[in-house]
Structure 1
Amino acid sequence: MKSQSVRVHLVRPPLDTAARQGRFGHARPCPEYAGLRGLDTGEWAGLTLDEVAAETPEALHAWLTDPGYAPPGGESVDALVARVGAELAALPPGTHRAEVEQAVVRAAVVHALELPAAAFWRLDVRPDSVTTLTGRAGRWNLLVGRPQEELPGT
């Protein structure tokens, strides 16, 4: 008995200007895969980590240590992991390629490996890299560190 597999290439693009300046971005869309859009940082969008720390240090600490805490008007790490996990579960068999933000790659890995949500902040994703997940029947495997130029059709 063999079930059809799903392969997902999560492509982390090069850093944009906001990321280079350390600013929280808006939840950048991922048109073909709506559930893989970026993390919604709510009222913190456009601010640097230092600016948020200066304005609301307790809230920033809560967000970085409690996966259930959401920034004002934003989403928690728990919510992001659940959203990304639902999108992955809904993918039809075949190979999928999505250009996503670092937070989405982190969330996908946490979901795929059934890690505790607290592991989210312990994962680093290099810009201009590819993370590959393969799965069948709800079980995921992770391929880490494959250079983007090795992807077919890129």
Structure 2
Amino acid sequence: MKSQLVRVHLARPPLDTAARQGRFGHARPCPGYEGLRGPDVGQWAGRTLEEVAAETPQDLHAWLTDPGYAPPGGESVDALIARVGAELAGLAPGTHRAEVEQAVVRAAVVYALELPTAAFWRLDVRPQWVTTLTGRAGRWNLLVGRPEDELPHT
């Protein structure tokens, strides 16, 4: 018996004021898809990368180079990928659309394509672009991002 197709459209919203200022956000929820909420950066929330680097450069370096390192009170890149992967694996057949943060798109692509975790930081995700994953029986394919206005309406 052939398994049914799952299609996931991950849309990155326009940058908000905090993102334009380079501030870490709070784990932004994703209604209907709890596992696709934004990353939990713990005590770094609301601060810029430069502020964290000035105060605790060794912690920032560890977070950017060690996928198992979690910011104080937050989650590691490994944990983010595992959470996003579990959400993708549990999706019912059909088409799903979620508006998510850049890190969630990165995590989804790393999980879906079984990439090494180091690839996480090397993926750029543009605001207002859509990344589409399609799959069945745990095998995923990637349609590289495109502008949201080109997304077929389902």
Give me the TM-score of the superposition, normalised by structure 1.
0.98
Could you list the per-position Cα deviations for residues 40-98 of structure 1 after superposition, in whole angstroms to 9, with x for gaps in the alignment?
00000000000000000000000000000000000000000000000000000000000
Residues in 1 aligned to 2:31 and 2:145: alpha-carbon distance in whole angstroms = 25
What residue number does 1:4 align with? Answer: 4
What is the SS of the residue equivalent to 1:40? coil
Q: Gapped runs of 5+ residues in structure 1? A: none
Q: Match of 1:127, SS?
A: coil
Which structure 2 residues correspond to residues 101-140 of structure 1 after superposition, within 5 A? 101-140=101-140
Q: CA RMSD, aligned part only? A: 1.0
Opposite residue 145 of structure 1, the aligned amino acid is G
* Offset at residue 150 of structure 1 (A): 1.9
Deviation at 1:3, TM superposition (A): 1.4
Asked whether 1:90 is paired with 2:98, we answer no
Q: Distance in 1 between matches of 2:140 and 2:153?
A: 24
Q: CA deviation at 1:145?
A: 2.1
Match of 1:65 in 2: 65
Cα distance in 2 for partners of 1:148, 1:31 equals: 19
The whole-number CA distance in structure 1 between the counterparts of 2:33 and 2:146 is 22
Match of 1:49 in 2: 49
State the alpha-carbon separation in 2 of the partners of residues 88 and 145 from structure 1. 18
| Distance in 2 separating the partners of 1:6 and 1:105 | 16
Name the amino acid aligned to 1:17. Answer: T
Percent identity between the aligned chains? Answer: 86
- CA separation in 2, counterparts of 1:48 and 1:24? 6
Partners of 2:4 and 2:119 in 1: CA distance: 29
Hey, which bits of structure 1, 4+ residues long, moved more than 4 A? none
How many residues align structurally?
154
Aligned amino acid, residue 85 of structure 1: G
* Cα separation, 1, equivalents of 2:76 and 2:96: 26
